Amino acid sequence: MLVAGVCAAVARHLGLRVRSVRLLALVLTLAGGSGPLLYGWLWAFTPHEPAATPAEADTGARREVPGAALLLVLAVAAALLTLIAAPSAGERLPGGALETIVASSAAVAWSLGLDRGDPTRSARYGFVVRTASAALLLLVGTALLLQQPWVLTTIAAVLMLTLGVVVLLIPRVVELWSEVIAERSGRVREEQRAEIAAHLHDSVLQTLALIQNRAEPQSEIARLARAQERELREWLFAEPGVDPGDLAVELQRYAAELELEYPVRFEVVTVGEAALSSGALAGAAREAMLNAARHAGGEVSVYLEASPEELTVFIRDHGPGFDPAVVEEGRLGVRESIIGRMTRSGGAAAVRSSVDGTEIELRGPRA
């Protein structure tokens, strides 16, 4: 590999000796100058051979030569030649004008094409190359317009000015086009998701609901059907952008876990904006839900109300009830895990129990 390994790759592909291919490239260079052009074209557009190991892929599969920057330097040199030769060019096209256009356009094309997917080239690098190329074209084009208005000079100047404006607008146009494509793709995905949701709602969800109605409320079949229905509804109708740490999401997930372990069915209702809560309120709510699943079972409702100042959670069950005043000293679930936890965090907890069921009210500040 003398420069980029192009001759070695061509020799391997054609089954020739590497020296013969290199000699042919040298002859083409001396015969008309097509050798370097062909070499550069093959180097730029021929894919790399897959690396055997990740280490080789990291070191050998990248084009380290900054082609866009080199083309930009060539464009600057050609622009200087154009500005020097313009006063004495007369009716002829100033020397270097065509080279300035070609080199600047090639630098922009290289930046948008080859460097766009290269992890070693940052977005700032491409922005600098494109901005410098546009500024160079606008500068040289303006300078040529200020010279004597010969036809060729005017044509070159107008072409440079047009290319300069296009280069400045290309990134924004590409960005807008990408946004339009992304929005269109998102709309298509949402439509497909809605069709799938409608189909599943008319078939699978109704079947799961029928299983729950026909089976015993506390049977294993009913619990599994309820868990599958909840999971499917969360996947179909989940709101995008919801924080996974939101208290409502946390209570719904914990309810689904309890339904798999205990013969209970939770109904979680949320009113108000989504909000994060302190760990105390979430922990007390989980403890109250666990107690309802263990000791009451059946239907348990969880109601979360989120106001701008505080969060309120109600957990209601239809169990036999109990008297909080006569709870044994060794049982600290309600006394410490619920009431004590809320008191220590600056909130409040109230337990109301009767033969018709138990209601636990938790109030805490918004996090």
* Number of domains the chain contains: 2
Domain assignment of residue 331, yes or no: yes
Q: What number is the average pLDDT over the span 317-334?
A: 72
pLDDT at 270 over 80: yes
What pLDDT was estimated at residue 302? 93
202, part of any domain? no
pLDDT at residue 305 is higher than 80: yes
Is there a domain that residue 269 lies in? yes
* Cα gap 80→254, rounded to integer Å: 71
Strands 298-306 and 310-317: antiparallel
Split at pLDDT 50, 70, 90, the class of 58 is very low
pLDDT at 281 over 80: yes
pLDDT of residue 61: 42
Q: What is the pLDDT of residue 316?
A: 94
- pLDDT value of position 1: 44
pLDDT of 251 strictly over 80 = yes
**What rounded mean pLDDT belongs to the chain?**
77
Residue 277 has pLDDT above 70, yes or no: no
Tell whether the model's pLDDT for residue 328 goes beyond 90.
no
In a domain? residue 264: yes
- 162 Cβ contact partners less than 8 Å away, ≥ 6 residues apart: none
CATH number, domain of 276, equals 3.30.565.10
Whether residue 314 lies inside any domain: the answer is: yes
- Its domain, for residue 33, covers 1-41
The confidence score (pLDDT) of residue 264 equals 83
Establish if 251 belongs to a structural domain: yes
* Three-state secondary structure string covering the chain: CCCCCHHHHHHHHHCCCHHHHHHHHHHHHHHHCHHHHHHHHHHHHCCCCCCCCHHHHHHHCCCCCCHHHHHHHHHHHHHHHHHHHHHHCCCCCCCCHHHHHHHHHHHHHHHHCCCCCCCCCCHHHHHHHHHHHHHHHHHHHHHHHCCCCCHHHHHHHHHHHHHHHHHHHHHHHHHHHHHHHHHHHHHHHHHHHHHHHHHHHHHHHHHHHHHHHHCCCCCHHHHHHHHHHHHHHHHHHCCCCCCCCCHHHHHHHHHHHHHHHCCEEEEEEEECCCCCECHHHHHHHHHHHHHHHHHCCEEEEEEEEECCCEEEEEEEECCCCCCHHHCCCCCCHHHHHHHHHHHHCCCEEEEEEECCEEEEEEEEEEC
Q: In angstroms, rounded to a whole number, what is the distance separating the alpha carbons of residues 281 and 116?
A: 49
Determine, yes or no, domain membership for 106: no
The β-bridge relationship of strands 348-354 and 298-306 is unpaired
pLDDT band at 240 (very low <50, low <70, confident <90, very high): low
Q: Is it the case that residue 291 has pLDDT exceeding 50? A: yes
pLDDT tens for 135-154 read 888 888 888 877 766 777 78
Q: Which residue has the higher pLDDT, 250 or 329?
A: 250
- pLDDT tens digit sequence for 96-113: 788 888 888 888 888 877
The answer as to whether 80 is a domain residue is no
- Residue, of 240 and 83, whose pLDDT is higher: 83
